[in-house]
Every structure is written in structure tokens, then in C-alpha cells.
Chain A
Amino acid sequence: ILNVEQSPQSLHVQEGDSTNFTCSFPSSNFYALHWYRWETAKSPEALFVMTLNGDEKKKGRISATLNTKEGYSYLYIKGSQPEDSATYLCAPVVSNYGQNFVFGPGTRLSVLP
């Protein structure tokens, strides 16, 4: 089974702080990487899908970068707000897993007002 790591496991920040977390995955047979945000009592929501080395995606205050050669992606949140509190999941797609995602364990972010 593909080993996908996310760090840190959990994070508490103050409102207004910027933060970032990491998703690490084996770089061989890479095809794409998905980021999801999962708020309590809601469905996981797709944030980004990234495919190319050096990709950078942005959605409001959230952005992500991708390094396929070394096997990592960073997710950045600028000026965190309480509504950003959620678990952030990454899921690489590798060619020998068909269309199946392999999810990391997630980073749980709490933004304190």
C-alpha cells in the first residue's frame, strides 16, 4: 500500500496567522495529487487537483504547491480564519493504483478567534 504522510498531525493557530502543512508521497509513478478540506459534520470538499511538477494553485487565501520529483506538496493558508478550521486531506494518484486515491491521515487545523 502506498505510504502517504501528512504533517503536522494537528495544528492550533490564532486568527490572522498564516500556516502551512505538508503532504509527502513516493514520487515514482505519480499521476496527480488532490487536496480536500473536511469540516466537521460536512462532506469532504475538493480544494485542488495538481498534476505537474511546479504546479501552484490558489483559491482565495489557500494555495498549494507541488514537487513531484521529491514527492511533496505544501498547502498554505494566509491569514487563517475560524472558518478554515477543518481537517485537510491529501490524496496522490499513482498510475499503478488505477483511478484510486490513497489518502493521507490528514492535518487537523483549529483556528482560534
Chain B
Amino acid sequence: DVKVTQSSRYLVKRTGEKVFLECVQDMDHENMFWYRQDPGLGLRLIYFSYDVKMKEKGDIPEGYSVSREKKERFSLILESASTNQTSMYLCASSFMGRRQETQYFGPGTRLLVL
């Protein structure tokens, strides 16, 4: 079974803090993704990566950056957390190749910025 793990289930941070959210997958997937989910909205793509050291902006990259130093690990960084970044963050991974490849998700990190 594919396993995608995220470093924390719940996180509370203060405005202005630097926040790291870590994601690890164990299926040798090329693609990794970071989404956020807010009430009434679908999952929105923040950043994605097709390979080590490669990153592409998604639909809402402002205020975020990412790092992919190893194939299995994809980190989301909030350089200076703000209250509007309070959200549920989900990581996903998939094989490169056909566009219908399933994305496999982690359990999510619920971040509260005070």
C-alpha cells in the first residue's frame, strides 16, 4: 500500500513564525503536491514537484515556498506565517506518466496561526 505521511496532524503557530510542513512518501513516486483545504472550497494546489529539486507554482503559491531535496520528501514552508494561512494542508504523491494517475494523500496537517 502507498503510504504518505505528514509530520504533524495539528500545529499551532504565531504570526510571523517560520513553519515547516514535511511530507514523506514510500512508493518512489516522481510527483508530489501540496494542497490546502478551506471550508466551502475544493482542495487548492499550492505547489507541486515533478522531480528532485524541481518545483512548480500551483494556483495559490503566494506566501509559501517548497523544498524537494530527496525524491521521497517534499516540504512546504511558510516563511512568515499569517492568520489567513490557518487551514488544513494535504500532501499527495503520484507516479509520473499518464494524466489519470491517482494521487495518494497524507492525513493532513491542521494549522492554526494565532
Using CB atoms and an 8 Å cutoff, list the residues of chain A in contact with chain B: 1, 4, 9, 31-32, 34, 36, 41-46, 49, 51, 89, 91, 93, 95, 98-106
Residue B48 CB within 8 A of the other chain: yes
Given A43-B106, A99-B94, does the pair A51, B42 have CB atoms closer than 8 Å?
no
Contacts A43-B4, A43-B107, A44-B90 given; indicate if A103 touches B42 (C-beta within 8 A): yes
- Residues of B contacting A: mostly: loop
B70 CB–A CB distance under 8 Å: no
Find residues 13-65 in chain B having any chain A CB closer than 8 Å to their own CB: 31, 33, 35, 40-45, 48, 58-59
Per the CB 8 Å criterion, the residue count for chain B at the interface is 26
A4 cross-chain contacts in B, Cβ below 8 A:
42
> 25 interchain pairs (CB within 8 A)?
A32-B99, A34-B103, A36-B105, A41-B107, A42-B107, A43-B105, A44-B90, A44-B105, A46-B102, A46-B103, A49-B102, A89-B42, A95-B99, A98-B99, A99-B31, A99-B96, A99-B101, A100-B33, A100-B45, A100-B58, A101-B45, A103-B35, A103-B44, A104-B42, A105-B40
Say yes or no: B107 contacts A1, CB within 8 Å: no
By CB atoms of chain B within 10 A, which of A4, A89, A103 has the most?
A103
* B90 / chain A contacts, CB cutoff of 8 Å: 43-44
Closest chain A CB from B93 CB (angstroms): 11
Q: Which residue of A lies closest to B108 (CB)?
A: A43
How many Å from the CB of A35 to the closest CB on chain B?
11
Given contacts A93-B99, A103-B42, A105-B40, 12 further A-B contacts (CB under 8 A): A32-B99, A32-B100, A34-B100, A42-B107, A43-B106, A46-B104, A89-B42, A89-B43, A93-B100, A103-B35, A104-B42, A105-B42
User: A38 — nearest CB in chain B belongs to which residue?
Assistant: B105
B48, B99, B101: residue with the most chain A Cβ atoms closer than 10 Å: B99
Chain B residues closer than 8 Å to A102, beta-carbon distance: 42
Residues of B within 8 A of A104 (CB): 42
